[in-house]
Amino acid sequence: MKNRLLVLLVLAFSGLLLSGAPSPAQAAVPGIKQTAEFKRLKNYVNFLQTKRSVPVNTARRQTYKTTLTTRRNAAGTKVQSLYSRVLLKISREDDAKQRRDIKRIRQNQKSQVQNLNARQAVRLGALQDKENAAISRINASYNLRINPLADQRDRLKRQLAKTTNPTKRTQLTRQINKLQVKINALVSDRTTDLNNLQTTYNLKAQNIRNKFAQQIANVKANAQQQIQQERNAWRQTFRTQIQAAKTRRDAQKDIVKSQAERGFSFIQQMPPAGE
């Protein structure tokens, strides 16, 4: 997020990220009234209040003003420092929460994809079982016709091997060839039927894959949309928190300003020495 990057850069260059200091993202950021800088300012203003009726010379009056200005500036700088710590705390906490939410979305997406892949595997497995059963039926059907012809052919081949009469051999050879033609035709038909079956089941398998691929794509697209919505929501939350931090900072500046003005009014009330 651009705003968060700017926040971190400002904090880095302002020297607030001191080594060994408590992490602002973990420690609660106090209000200005709880800081030593403001307490020193307030205590000095209370001191000036006790001196408002005591005559002072010009040098002492200027010393009071200089000291009060120094403590006012220190408290004002502390206000800005606290504001920077709040920004860093907001940025880090929001980033951590956003990462956790996005991680949850991605884990849910992964779980859904795994479930769809498992369901696809079951569907494809069941389809493969059906295909195997269909292949077995085709083979069994053709075997009922091919095997008797093959057995008959083999018997004729054995007779041919034992026959020496040329005429008889010619007749046997002709019969064997006719049987082989029938067998070859049946084998060809079987191959065609098996190829057609495979094409049919390949199309069914591809349809299943396409269906689940679309469902997986929808799951991923939905997860990406949720992630974008989360990021947009966190951007709005960040802007709201930053505005609240600015309001808090401005209110604390007013507290410091008001305290300092009290001190300057007390200095103004001090009568000149010699009157």
- Give me the residue label for tokens 């195997």: 132
**Is residue 274 assigned to a domain?**
no
Boundaries of domain holding 159:
2-17+29-269
Q: Is residue 116 part of a domain?
A: yes
Residue 202: inside a domain, yes or no?
yes
Inside any domain, residue 8? yes
23 is a domain residue: no
pLDDT of 238: 87
Tell me the pLDDT of the chain (275 aa) as tens digits.
445 544 444 443 343 333 334 444 457 899 999 999 999 999 999 999 999 999 999 999 999 999 999 999 999 999 999 999 999 998 888 888 889 999 999 999 999 999 999 999 999 999 999 999 999 999 999 999 999 999 999 999 999 999 999 999 999 999 999 999 999 999 999 999 999 999 999 999 999 999 999 999 999 999 999 999 988 998 898 899 999 999 999 999 999 999 999 999 999 999 998 65
What's the rounded Cα separation, in Å, for the pair 47 and 172? 136
CA-to-CA distance for 152 and 146, rounded, in angstroms?
Answer: 10
DSSP letter (8 states) at residue 164: -
**DSSP letter string over 213-262?**
HHHHHHHHHHHHHHHHHHHHHHHHHHHHHHHHHHHHHHHHHHHHHHHHHH
- Distance CA(117)–CA(109), nearest Å, equals 12
Q: Is 171 part of a structural domain of the chain?
A: yes
Q: Minimal CA–CA distance to 161: which of 151, 153, 169?
A: 169
Total domain count, the chain: 1
Domain assignment present for residue 24? The answer is: no
Confirm whether 22 is domain-assigned.
no
Length of the chain, in residues: 275
pLDDT of res. 167: 94
Query: What distance in Å separates the CA atoms of residue 180 and residue 150, rounded to the nearest whole number?
Result: 8
Long-range CB contact pairs, 250-258, < 8 A, 24+: 252/31, 252/32, 252/79, 252/82, 253/76, 253/79, 255/32, 255/33, 255/38, 256/32, 256/38, 256/41, 256/72, 256/75, 256/76, 256/79, 257/72
